[in-house]
Amino acid sequence: MDLQVPEVNIAGRWDRGGLGAFVSEAAFEHFLDAYRAGMAALPPCELFDVPTSFGTVRAYRFAGPDAGAAVVLLPGRNASTPMYRGNLGPLLQRRTVYGIDLLGEAGLSVQRKAIRAGADQAQWLDEALAGLELDRAHLLGVSIGGWTAVNSAVHRPGRIASLTLLDPVFTFTGIPAKAMLASVALFAPGVPERWRRRVHSWIAGGSDLADAPVESALIDAGAKDFTLRTPMPRLFTEEQLRGLDVPVLALIAGRSVMLDPERATARARELLPHGQVELWADASHAINGEYPEEIARRAGRFWDEV
């Protein structure tokens, strides 16, 4: 498909600008190669560039059954819409699906204004949903995409029909110190590729990255080629979680290294007023790639109930 590549931000890694940017033209071309390969593996879709107060949001519409509100996929850090390659087929048996590249992250969304707080994150996503003419949508997010979904429900819940959270970070617990330190290898310049691949494999429960070459190449390129300049996500307070007035399905990975699975499960069950919380014992933080069929079935039942 014609990706209609936008004019992205290019800035040195240590520049003081407040916008997420690719570190060079060559870096963007490297990332774009991985992105094109990822998009080529997805089902046919319609492309949108949606203007918001903080920049232009790239979105894709994958047509499925007209069975209710559409599903909006929010990717993890350093990823973008193609990371859901394995999930789209099962999900499209149940609903129409939209993929969104997070603003301020590696992808084809283009940030034009500094994002300084959670309220800003919620505003651009709400404006993107409005631009896509989605009066109601089920948000499904993995990792930081899960945090993004909850953050939107905290600040701008009006268009949200439900939340499906796949091992969300900074949501029910913080990130363990070991995971925080290991993540430095994904962002620090000059880190050998073999080290980054070892970190990716560790996060994915020790899996062989060759089993998901499209997704691993995309995430690795995002980490290497792009500089994030969004604020560190803040852990939600008890008051914020108790105040969520939307149905939530939280699937916590029992082998996750990015959160404390037992504590996250207990806290979610305690604080979510409309929550269905499950601990999937054998899943790692790469839960969406490990259990695409099971997630689609479980989420599909949840959406039908909603």
Give the pLDDT of residue 117. 96
Give the pLDDT of residue 215. 86
Extents of the domains making up the chain: 21-305
Q: Which residues contact 50 (CB under 8 A, 6 or more apart)?
A: 56, 57, 58, 59, 127, 128, 131, 132
Average pLDDT, stretch 54-60?
98
Give the pLDDT of residue 78. 86
Give the relative orientation of helices 85-92 and 292-305 as an angle to the nearest 10 degrees: 40
Give the pLDDT of residue 198. 73
- pTM here is 0.94
Q: Name the fold adopted by 21-305.
A: Rossmann fold (3.40.50)
Q: Which residues contact 65 (CB under 8 A, 6 or more apart)?
A: 93, 94, 95, 96
Give the pLDDT of residue 179. 78
Lowest mean pLDDT among 73-87, 140-154, 190-204: 190-204
Give the pLDDT of residue 239. 98
127 in Cβ contact with 106 (< 8 Å): no
pLDDT at 183 over 80: no
Give the pLDDT of residue 45. 98
pLDDT at 210 over 90: no
Report the alpha-carbon distance of residue 208 to residue 197 in Å, rounded.
10
Query: What would the pLDDT profile of 108-124 be if each residue is shown by its tens digit?
Result: 999 999 999 999 999 99
pLDDT at 216 over 90: no
120 in Cβ contact with 54 (< 8 Å): yes
Instruction: Please give the residue that has the higher pLDDT: either 201 or 80.
Output: 80
Instruction: Please give the residue that has the higher pLDDT: either 300 or 185.
Output: 300
pLDDT at 89 over 90: yes
Query: What would the pLDDT profile of 126-160 be if each residue is shown by its tens digit?
Result: 999 999 999 999 999 999 999 999 999 999 999 99
- Rounded mean pLDDT of the chain? 93
pLDDT category, 206, cuts 50, 70, 90? low
